[in-house]
Amino acid sequence: MAVPTLPYGSWPSPIDAALAASLDGRPEYVGTVGPEVWWTEPRPREAGRRTLVRRRTVDGRPETTELPAPWDVRSRFTEYGGLPWAGAERESGGPLLVFVHFADQRLYAYEPDAPGGPRARPLTPVSHVGGGLRWADPVLRGGEVWCVLEEFTGPAPTDVRRVLAAVPLDGSAAEDRAAVRELTDDRHRFGTGPRISPDGRQAAWLVWDHPRMPWDGTELKLAAITADGRLTGARTVLGGPEEAVAQVDWTAGGSLLAVSDRGGWWNPYRVDPRTGEAVNLCPREEEFGGALWKPGLRWLAPLEDGLVAVLHGQGSSVLGILDPDSGDLVDASGPWTAWQPALAVSGTRVYGVAASPRSAYEVVELDTATGHARVVGARAEDPVDPTHYPEPQSRTFPGPDSREIPAHVYPPHHPACRAPADELPPYVVWAHGGPTDHVPPVLDLHIAYFTSRGIGVALVNYGGSTGYGRAYRERLRGQWGVVDVEDCAAVARGLAAEGTADPARLAIRGGSAGGWTAAASLAATDVYACAAIIYPVLDLLGFAEETHDLESRYVDGLVGPPQTLPVLCRERSPVARADRITAPFVLLQGLDDRVCPPSQAERLLAALRGRSVPHAYVAFEGEGHGFRRAETMVRALEAELSLYAQVFGIDRADVPRLALHD
């Protein structure tokens, strides 16, 4: 059969927006309750909620969704959330779990095997200040659940305090805030939940303060636990303003482990609790940790036999088993090339969330006794013929000042179509969020949505991204809106110069901090023909005043201190440089966004009023920072494709035409 020749961007594809949206998201927060494995999983078609999923590994029964709609297992801690559940075995009556319900942010106790059927009962009261008391990173201890509490004291995003707290499991605090015991004071602005030593006598946790972010500098705190369950003698044993400790944990033998970047890379250390002396267990120019955006992320997990499961690598992380005494590190076998910081252990088994260029994220089990790895949950099925999937190319591009810029290039691909020999494909540069984040080369149907239609995608891990050491992260210090813009443009120009991409049909897209980079790129360069700008930062001054507490001082490190911000805002903010924007764009915004409020988008639209810049503004009720509902993602993907089709001169009648207004 002859392969049809069709222009790039016009190819038919079985990957429609509804399919991509239905499979959006990944399993998170894997944990073990005895021999069972539990995790949270997205449900885009159920208003974007997350549920708890259970896998009984002993009897081989299939995974089960434990909490039906409308339960939504998700914390609003610092708006980004954190580990929202914990569980423990009981001698009778099956496991006991606690979880945070998104709608009211209360902690609930859940007994899945209770006589008469599963039941959930509240443990904490409703608060009408700040959208509720917020809980994260819980651990069960006797008759209490210990976690980190975020409590709002007034109407402003920064009217907030955070402490370690103990919630009684008997429900006595369900209507009584006073029944919650506070374990620490609120001297530190931010922190994680406690990690309790195997003998129950000590607790360790991480703290940090404005203006630092957790990848700038954190402190590892250690305290004794008294017989009556109080913390006493809290002291710093590791970390500081220029050392970022990403995780702390205990071995079964009572040794204290931490992931620190004191050597320029996040490496695993054994820490002497008395002296703070830290011994690097595996000194490598690789990352064994990452950005602590949410409490409860786990890059290492000690096993009972003294070995330690670790995630490590440059850019992408893979699973390895580390012998802390010899420093030997053996990687797990299998097709998975990127693992998320969600490790859990039970006996000789390690559980995590992993993906590859040919498979989406799924729950994977590694038996360290046999070396065998297998999928045990959220199995990534192929909804279409996998020959439609793109094959990423991991590359490095030259940038300004001899910088090297890692990127993953996804060329257009279709098994049954080809383009005219004299045509170059359009490409979209994707700028990730954070900006302290990174993107690995894994299967993503949102990418395949475009590549299977003949539009290439390039994911750029621009300066400031995690995964490449502290020096690479700090390329962006004071240079947000400069280095990120330059690096993305260097990749786009590089693709055009080598004949991979059509220089007249380049676009840029990004969400959150990536939305800032996309918008700033339109104002600072003439590289792109159009842009998709998604729940973005657009105004530095407004962002510092309006965003949530966690990021309210973020711009100090990204751009400069408050006294310089007005000048730098005029030099870099897309709102202040709107007169330089001439390329068409679509602006996609959640109206419930507390991180990048709609006021950011509204100010850019006001600054463009009266100018002939074709654009569209699509706002979504009920969506916050990051789209979760299937119908939202369908509308957003189709709007983005329609923009590219109109600007790049592509005939696509299979999506609604986006109305662009001057």
| pLDDT for position 58 | 63
| pLDDT for position 116 | 83
Indicate if the pLDDT at residue 2 is higher than 80.
no
Q: 3-class DSSP state for residue 96?
A: strand
Q: 3-class DSSP state for residue 73?
A: strand
| pLDDT for position 533 | 98
The contacts of residue 349 (CB under 8 Å, 6+ apart) are: 57, 365, 366, 367, 368
Average pLDDT of the chain is 96
| pLDDT for position 114 | 87
Retrieve residue 516's tokens: 């800032």
Condensed to tens digits (0 to 9), the pLDDT of residues 107-165 reads 999 999 988 888 899 999 998 887 779 999 999 999 999 999 999 999 999 999 999 99
Q: What average pLDDT score do residues 434-444 get? A: 96
The DSSP secondary-structure symbol of 477 reads: T
Condensed to tens digits (0 to 9), the pLDDT of residues 595-631 reads 999 999 999 999 999 899 999 999 999 999 999 999 9
Quote the crossing angle between the two packed helices 483-497 and 513-524, to the nearest 10°: 70
Condensed to tens digits (0 to 9), the pLDDT of residues 156-190 reads 999 999 999 999 999 999 999 999 999 999 999 99
- Specify whether the CB–CB gap between 478 and 568 falls below 8 A: no
| pLDDT for position 57 | 72
Find out if CATH 3.40.50.1820 is the number for domain 386-648.
yes
Condensed to tens digits (0 to 9), the pLDDT of residues 497-524 reads 999 999 999 999 999 999 999 999 999 9
- Specify whether the CB–CB gap between 392 and 441 falls below 8 A: yes
| pLDDT for position 662 | 85
Query: Do 195-331 and 386-648 have matching folds?
Result: no
Indicate if the pLDDT at residue 1 is higher than 90.
no
Retrieve residue 316's tokens: 């992408």
| pLDDT for position 586 | 98
Rounding to the nearest 10 degrees, give the CA dihedral for residues 443, 444, 449, 454. Answer: -50
The count of residues in the chain is: 662
Q: What average pLDDT score do residues 630-636 get? A: 97
User: Which pLDDT band, with edges at 50, 70 and 90, does 59 fall under?
Assistant: low
Give the rounded distance of the alpha carbon of 225 from its chain centre. 33
| pLDDT for position 147 | 98
Looking up tokens 């711009």, which residue turns up? Answer: 555
What architecture is domain 195-331?
6 Propeller (2.120)
Looking up tokens 């002939």, which residue turns up? Answer: 612
- HEC assignment per residue over 266-298: CEEEEECCCCCCEEECCCCCCECCCCCCCCCCE
Q: Order of strands, edge to edge, in the sheet holding 49-56?
A: 28-33, 36-43, 49-56, 64-65
% the chain with pLDDT above 70: 99
Distances (CA, A) of 501 to 390, 406, 425, 492, 505: 16, 17, 5, 8, 8
Q: What average pLDDT score do residues 517-545 get? A: 97
What residue segments make up the domains of the chain, in order of their start? Answer: 195-331, 386-648
The DSSP secondary-structure symbol of 323 reads: -
Retrieve residue 78's tokens: 């610092």
Indicate if the pLDDT at residue 90 is higher than 90.
no
Give burial (CB, 10 Å; 0-12/13-18/19+) of 298.
Answer: buried
User: Which pLDDT band, with edges at 50, 70 and 90, does 60 fall under?
Assistant: low
| pLDDT for position 52 | 97
| pLDDT for position 91 | 80
Q: What average pLDDT score do residues 229-249 get? A: 97
